[in-house]
Amino acid sequence: MQKQLAFGFAEKPPEVSAKKASNPKGYTGLYGFHKYWGKKPHEPLAFIIEQLTSDADTVLDPFVGSGITARESLLRNRRFIGFDINPIAVEITRLLVSPPDYESVYDTFKYLEKSVKEKIGQTYLMSDGCIASHYLWENDLLQQVWLRRGLGNAREERSPSAHDLELIDSLAGYRSKFLRRPNFFSNGRINAHKDLAISDILTGRAQHNLDLLLHGIAELPDDLAKPLRLCLTAASGQMTKMVFAVTGRGKTGGKASSKVEVGSWVIGYWRPKLHFEVNVWNCFERRVSKLLKAIRTYDPLTSLHISPSLAEFYRCDSKCCIECTPCQDSIAEVANQSVKLILTDPPHSDRVPYLELSELWNAILGLEPNFDDEIVISNAKEREKSPETYGDAMNAFFAQCRETMRDDGFLVLLYNARQEDRWTFVNKLIDDSASTGLEYIGQFPCNYSAGSVVQDNRKGGLKNDVALVFGNPDADLGEIGQLCDIPNWTTQIPFH
Ligand SMILES: C[S@@+](CC[C@H](N)C(=O)[O-])C[C@H]1O[C@@H](n2cnc3c(N)ncnc32)[C@H](O)[C@@H]1O
């Protein structure tokens, strides 16, 4: 039974101070469950919501990403509207604003374990009946097979046997029947090309085992299937040929260690020469445990009703609407003068080609993204996403946003770009205040947390985002609360 959120429930989170907002911690609990590109820390977002809105006010995030603004708003009894063009982002957001209850995830996982775990185990079976956990490959040559006999035992590293190689051969030609065929574009920055295929990324055995899990999940009722499918997307990077083998870390007696450790996968489609193939069941089980840990304690948003469309949101006076749509289309459906705060972190020019990077996740979900309407700059020439198309789309969108805002409303834009000319759209937004009715008020640095997931580390990338605050030209500046208490608050215009 889905529930509507009663405004005024008792367990509002403690208020966030300006100091806490500028020193965010890493991602824990539900925020750490699924990676997403360009994830923002929750502390500054919560602080902005607390300073600029009150109970039952509406917050809008048209580029909602992994849903942090959504969850922080709803936890504070605000109504929330979110859009994103990326299906995986919308699924993660829906989980964050309406987490499943612990028992249902636990029971469903146990059911899947019964029906699938053993079949997957058979594909990693060694000649002595043990199940391997990792295979170390150097290009197409198998180097080692690892196993661990129970928790707490040291890992065993074995040379590959004829039996291991036969097993691998038997599934080498397997091609997934359940993954949607992915669409890749030629983009050297993320090591993708248009002929990239699933078999370049996943071994036949990994595809076979993903299929076993996808098939098992597909047979479940939708509400039980969704969280487990997300565990699968969250675990999928670790199931690929993109998992780096880390060598030479640490020193013994002045010499670099020869020990090999399991690394992670890096933003993009990089397939390192020395890489691991990890047991698919183990990857999945670890993610389910992470989710279970995150939802173990009481969560006031559990099973909250999410309106699938704005029409339903208004008709049912609902508290939350999350739509998978291009925001430039959906914004027209938002009631005029209804939004107190637009708080958003739009795509930062060419930093992250979200849809291109999310293609494996979206293929697992079986959902087709709308590449045409993504607002981004991409190195993939065939997409024709240039700095000009990006700037025009952003300015057109934010000009349209103003109509949805109440006269006492605010727009807070988190932004960062590595080249000065990528600030053009922000400068235009500031210069056009007379026509858009959005007056620039000031900005403050919005730091990433130390444990930040996948940020831009290219030369020239700023160390932090800035939060740019806009309001009605007649706004009472007293209403920006303690925003100006954030260290380095300034009314200066960035890169102007
Ligand atoms: C910087 S990310 C948001 C990240 C988010 N702040 C977080 O913490 O996870 C920008 C988002 O804009 C989305 N996006 C790009 N073009 C869009 C469009 N036309 N309509 C809606 N969303 C879009 C991308 O899919 C991406 O999730």
Q: Is residue 384, in this structure, part of any structural domain at all?
A: yes
Cα(41)–Cα(25) distance, integer angstroms: 7
In whole angstroms, give the CA distance from residue 331 to residue 397.
Answer: 8
Q: Which amino acid, 298?
A: Y
What integer pLDDT is reported at residue 212 of this predicted model? 98
Which residue range(s) make up the domain with 367?
18-98+299-485
What pLDDT is attached to residue 454? 44
Q: Encode pLDDT of 76-133 as tens digits.
A: 999 999 999 999 999 999 999 999 999 999 999 999 999 999 999 999 999 999 999 9
Ligand 1 contact, 357 CB (< 6 A): no
Tell me the whole-structure pTM to 2 decimals: 0.94
State the CATH number of the domain containing residue 37. Answer: 3.40.50.150
Q: Are residues 280 and 306 in the same domain?
A: no
Asked if residue 111 and residue 91 are part of one domain, the reply reads: no
In terms of average pLDDT, the best of 150-159, 352-361, 410-419, 468-477 is 352-361
How large is the average pLDDT for residues 31-48? 94
Tokens 């260690």 sit on residue? 257
Q: How confident is the model at residue 460 (pLDDT cuts 50, 70, 90)?
A: very low
Residue 7 predicted with pLDDT over 60: no
Encode pLDDT of 428-453 as tens digits. 999 998 888 899 999 998 887 554 44
C-alpha span between 77 and 63 (Å, rounded) = 21
Does residue 326's CB lie within 6 angstroms of at least one atom of ligand 1? yes
Residue that finishes a domain, picked among 241, 275, 294: 294
Domain co-membership, 30 together with 174 = no
* Residue 76, pLDDT score: 97
**Range with the largest mean pLDDT of 244-253, 266-275, 353-362, 454-463:** 353-362
Q: Is 415 in the pocket of ligand 1 (CB under 6 A)?
A: no
Nearest to 168 by CA among 199, 139, 142: 142
Domain final residue pick, 242, 261, 294:
294
Shortest-distance atom of ligand 1 to CA 40: 8
**Rounded-to-5 percentages of helix, strand, coil across the chain:** 40, 20, 45
Judged against a pLDDT cut of 50, whether residue 33 lies above it is answered with yes
Contact (CB, 8 A) for 69 and 265:
no
DSSP assignment of 74-104 equals: HHTT-EEEEE-S-HHHHHHHHHHHSPPPHHH
Measure the N-to-C terminal CA separation of the chain; round to a whole number of Å: 52
d(CA 225, CA 163): 35
Which pLDDT tens digit goes with each residue over 371-427?
Answer: 999 999 999 999 999 999 999 999 999 989 999 999 999 999 999 876 777 788 888
Beta carbon of 375 within 6 Å of any ligand 1 atom: yes
Dihedral of the CA atoms 24, 27, 31, 36 (nearest 10)? 100
Residue 3 is assigned to a structural domain of this protein: no
pLDDT band of residue 282 (cuts 50, 70, 90) is very high
Give the whole-angstrom CA distance, residue 228 versus residue 98.
14
3-class state of residue 128 by DSSP: coil
Structure tokens at 475: 């706004």
> What's the CA gap between 332 and 403, in Å, rounded?
9
